[in-house]
């Protein structure tokens, strides 16, 4: 147990929850409607990528050209149109083990909680809402802020300071994520990281990535 931790920044996909592939469905529908292509997101991208990165990759590898900024923005807007239905109809949606218990526990303890996610902010909120998790997060860093996860994490830290009225102490702030990208992003922003094996990466891979804590899920070994 570490009493020094005062703020926790959470990744969403495969850390707080799984949408059961709803995001991929929404991307696929968006690209199909606008460009008539079959965009299999899981085939072309890797876990931990930001939404801007996903958009760029699908344009290059599926549409076959660079999309203009306006075209990429239009795809994201169409993706967001499809997201509520895709999340609502997903049979595989689940909140990860222990999350429904730890979020209120940390809130009651006065721990500041924010988001660090590659999702653009509206998509993040849609995903969280089905599991009634959005009420725990008043700020975050999002894929709509930057395509680089280190900068996304820095945005979250800055906004946490704005919400609390004083800059977050980096030594007292941790991130929680399920991919090596989450680990490197947290470290790049100067904070420690809990690597959870609730996604596609094992405990060994979390340790290899340099996670300060590597745990199966938040029910055991969480540092607060």
Q: Is the pLDDT of residue 35 over 80?
A: yes
The reported pLDDT for the residue numbered 118 is: 93
| Contact (CB, 8 A) for 5 and 173 | yes
Structure tokens at 138: 């008043």
Residues 104, 8 contacting (CB under 8 angstroms)? no
The whole-number average pLDDT for the span 80-107 is 98
99 and 54 housed in the same domain: no
For 69-78, what is the mean pLDDT? 94
Domain end, chosen from 56, 72, 89, is at 89
Res 3: pLDDT: 55
Residue 120: is its pLDDT beyond 90? yes
Among 89, 121, 147, the domain boundary falls at: 89
**According to the model, what pLDDT value does residue 39 have?**
84
Q: Clarify whether residues 104 and 211 are in a common domain.
A: yes
pLDDT of residue 164: 95
pLDDT digits (tens, 9 = 90+) for 175-220: 999 999 999 999 999 999 999 999 999 999 999 999 999 999 999 9
77 and 107 share one domain: no
46 lies in some domain = yes
Q: Show the domain range for 145.
A: 7-19+93-215
Residue 193 lies in a domain: yes
For the segment 54-68, the average pLDDT, to the nearest whole number, is 90
Q: How many domains does the chain fold into?
A: 2
Model confidence at 40, in pLDDT bands (50, 70, 90)? confident
Of 22 and 42, the one with more pLDDT = 22
Same domain, 109 and 187: yes
Looking at residue 1, its pLDDT comes to 43
User: Looking at the structure, do residues 45 and 123 belong to the same domain, yes or no?
Assistant: no
Distance of CA 160 to the CA centre of its chain: 16
Mean pLDDT of all residues belonging to the chain = 94
Of 135, 171, 137, 152, nearest to 48 by C-alpha is: 152
Question: Phi/psi of residue 17, each to 5°?
Answer: -160, 170
pLDDT in tens, 154-164: 999 999 999 99
Are residue 76 and residue 142 in the same domain, yes or no? no
Of 64-68, 165-169, 202-206, which gets the smallest average pLDDT? 64-68
119 and 209 part of one domain: yes
Token couple for 123? 């998509």
Could you please report the per-residue DSSP string of 196-213? E-SSSS-HHHHHHHT-SE
Instruction: Tell which wins on pLDDT, 143 or 47.
Output: 143
Query: pTM for the complete prediction?
Result: 0.92
The verdict on 69 and 175 lying in the same domain is no
Does the residue 220 lie in any domain? Answer: no
Report residue 100 as tokens. Answer: 């429904």
How high is the pLDDT of residue 47? Answer: 72
């Amino acid at each position: 147990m570490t009493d020094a931790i005062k703020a926790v920044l959470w990744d969403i996909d495969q850390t707080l929850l799984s949408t059961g592939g709803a995001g991929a469905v929404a991307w696929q529908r968006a690209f199909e409607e606008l460009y008539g292509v079959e965009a299999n997101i899981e085939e072309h991208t890797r876990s931990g990528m930001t939404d801007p990165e996903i958009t760029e990759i699908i344009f290059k590898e599926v549409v076959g050209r660079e999309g203009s900024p306006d075209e990429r923005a239009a795809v994201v807007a169409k993706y967001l149109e499809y997201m509520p239905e895709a999340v609502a109809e997903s049979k595989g949606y689940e909140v990860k083990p222990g999350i429904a218990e730890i979020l209120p526990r940390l809130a009651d303890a006065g721990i500041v909680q924010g988001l660090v996610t590659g999702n653009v902010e509206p998509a993040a909120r849609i995903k969280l809402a089905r599991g009634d998790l959005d009420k725990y997060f008043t700020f975050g860093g999002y894929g709509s802020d930057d395509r680089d996860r280190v900068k996304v994490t820095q945005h979250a830290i800055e906004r946490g300071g704005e919400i609390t009225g004083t800059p977050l102490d980096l030594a007292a702030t941790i991130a929680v994520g399920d991919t090596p990208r989450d680990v490197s992003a947290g470290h790049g922003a100067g904070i420690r990281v809990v690597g959870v094996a609730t996604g596609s990466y094992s405990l060994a891979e979390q340790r290899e990535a340099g996670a300060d804590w590597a745990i199966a899920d938040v029910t055991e070994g969480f540092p607060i």
